[in-house]
Amino acid sequence: MPLWWQNTREVGGLRLTEEGMLFLMEKIELATYEVPFPPEFKITTQVILFLDKFIDCPYYVTNKGITVTEEKKALELHLFSGDVRKYGLNKALKRTDEVTNP
C-alpha cells in the first residue's frame, strides 16, 4: 500500500504516489484526466485535506495540476478552473447546508 497510496490512514483519501499513478496508466491502462491548476496556485495543507475528503476516485497531484481517474470528477474540477481550493470550499458549504436544511 505505501508504494501506491500517498495516504494510508484509515480515513485517508485516494491520493496516489507517482508509482501508483504509473501503474494505473501503464499496466491497467485506466483512463485519466488532467486538470491544470490556475497560475500562481499553491498547494496547502487545507487543499490536501479537501482533496482527501471530496475526491472519491484515485488521483495524483503535482505542483502543476491534478490527474483524476473519473470523468465526472474531472468535469467538476474543470468547472472550477482547476482551483481545487474553491472546489473543496464549495463542497464543504454544500454539505453544511444539507445538514442544517434537510
Angle, in degrees to the nearest 10, between helices 84-100 and 45-54: 60
Residue-level length of the chain? 102
Instruction: Tell me the pTM.
Output: 0.82
pLDDT in tens, the chain (102 residues): 678 888 755 666 799 999 999 998 888 889 999 999 999 888 888 888 888 888 889 999 999 999 999 999 999 999 988 888 888 888 888 888 777 877
Alpha helices in 1-102 (DSSP H): 18-22, 45-54, 71-79, 84-100
Spell out where 17-57 has E strands: 33-36
